[in-house]
């Protein structure tokens, strides 16, 4: 049997807001090996999006304990740009608009930083058009300001265009399915599935099971009150769909009762 290679290791992670005493993430442990797809589910306020932001280097959170190893290196002291260049990618739950900056210029800069190379605009434009086509986005999007005037579905598809173009080793998808209709969900899911490989891993953060009908995870984790309380295979997401999060909360309360 081939030994699995850890790509991401989160060890006893504790996170809070700088001006708050109470932790949002409380002793979280998670290992994602190369080539695996993990789904992280949980109710609102459980800390899922906080984890995504901490992994990407958001400055608005304070890590009080623990470590995050990516490719064997503790990345907590690294800037977001350095983490991205190592191959860590975050697809935002609410992608920001960047008026005045075209998609082509924005992605060309990101591409050059990611791969530490110079590429002429005309050459890059051809590359970008190929990736836009994969996600069924009109070529005219290349000249539009980043996310300005985009529908919710277009913003999420553009996130996956970035994913396809930048070829990260670990992609964290923070509720990418939020606000998508069925057609857009299928397009986004197909884009993700096309990127699956033995070297690339995904952490799919979601409230609902529906995206997992299209992106089949290897593992499903349930996060409640800042920590993972249950893990299993794809069937765990179906159990949550049937029983709801109160089922897990009840088990957690029973486990912690004196």
- Residue boundaries of the structural domains of the chain: 6-95+168-256
CB 215 within 8 A of CB 196: no
Tell whether the model's pLDDT for residue 255 goes beyond 60.
Answer: no
Cα 170 to Cα 153: distance, rounded to the nearest angstrom: 22
Predicted confidence band of residue 253 (pLDDT cuts 50, 70, 90): low
Question: Chain centroid to CA 186: how far?
Answer: 17
pLDDT for the residue 178: 83
Assign domain 6-95+168-256 to its CATH architecture.
Answer: 3-Layer(aba) Sandwich (3.40)
pLDDT for the residue 3: 66
Integer angstrom CA distances of residue 95 from 78, 150, 180, 220: 22, 10, 13, 25
Q: Which residue has the higher pLDDT, 26 or 1?
A: 26
Tell whether the model's pLDDT for residue 30 goes beyond 90.
Answer: yes
pLDDT for the residue 1: 43
Cα 216 to Cα 212: distance, rounded to the nearest angstrom: 5
Q: Which residue has the higher pLDDT, 255 or 211?
A: 211
Tell whether the model's pLDDT for residue 257 goes beyond 70.
Answer: no
């Amino acid at each position: 049997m081939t030994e699995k290679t850890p790509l991401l290791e989160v060890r006893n992670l504790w996170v809070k807001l700088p001006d708050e005493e109470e932790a949002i993430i409380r002793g979280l442990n998670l290992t994602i090996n190369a080539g695996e797809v993990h789904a992280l589910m949980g109710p609102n306020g459980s800390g899922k999006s906080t984890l995504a932001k901490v992994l990407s280097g958001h400055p608005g959170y304070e890590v009080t304990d623990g470590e995050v190893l990516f490719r064997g290196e503790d990345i907590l002291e690294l800037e977001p740009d350095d983490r991205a260049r190592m191959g860590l990618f975050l697809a935002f739950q609410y992608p920001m608009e960047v008026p005045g900056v075209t998609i082509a210029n924005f992605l060309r800069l990101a591409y050059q930083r990611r791969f530490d190379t110079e590429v002429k605009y005309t050459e890059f434009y051809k590359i970008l058009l190929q990736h836009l086509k994969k996600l069924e986005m009109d070529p005219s999007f290349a000249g539009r300001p980043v996310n300005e005037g985009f529908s919710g579905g277009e913003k999420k598809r553009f996130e996956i265009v970035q994913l396809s173009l930048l070829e990260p080793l670990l992609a964290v998808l923070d509720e990418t399915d939020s606000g998508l209709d069925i057609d857009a969900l299928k397009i986004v899911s197909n884009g993700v599935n096309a990127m699956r490989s033995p070297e690339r891993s995904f952490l799919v953060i979601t409230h609902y099971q529906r995206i997992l009908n299209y992106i089949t995870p290897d593992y499903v984790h349930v996060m409640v009150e800042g920590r993972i309380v249950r893990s299993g295979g794809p069937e765990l997401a179906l159990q949550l769909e049937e029983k709801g999060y109160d089922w897990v909360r009840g088990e957690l309360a029973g486990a912690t009762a004196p």
